[in-house]
């Protein structure tokens, strides 16, 4: 029985398996950070502008992915 290669999709996208793992870990960290800032405490909300979670997360993930792909192809 042939085992799946967990890095196959990453290599097809031009990213190393290590790069894919780093991108995934960074995305998870970004989700937590954006979620925290998108749902501020009442005091923080009074002091700052609230972020839109979906828009901010979409832009963050797109930037992280583009940067990872650019570094992989350099």
How many Å apart are CA 8 and CA 14, to the nearest integer?
10
pLDDT tens-digit series, residues 29-42 = 989 988 888 888 88
Structure tokens of 73? 């192809």
Residue with structure tokens 């405490």? 41
Q: Give the global pTM.
A: 0.54
> Between 69 and 1, whose confidence is greater?
69
With a cut of 70, say whether residue 3 has pLDDT above it.
no
Element containing residue 37 per DSSP (H, E): helix 17-38
């Amino acid at each position: 029985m042939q085992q799946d290669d967990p890095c196959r999709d990453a290599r097809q996208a031009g990213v190393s398996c290590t790069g894919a793992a780093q991108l995934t870990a960074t995305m998870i960290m970004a989700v937590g950070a954006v979620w925290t800032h998108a749902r501020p405490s009442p005091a923080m909300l009074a002091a700052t502008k609230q972020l839109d979670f979906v828009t901010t997360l979409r832009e963050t993930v797109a930037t992280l992915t583009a940067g990872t792909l650019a570094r992989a192809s350099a």
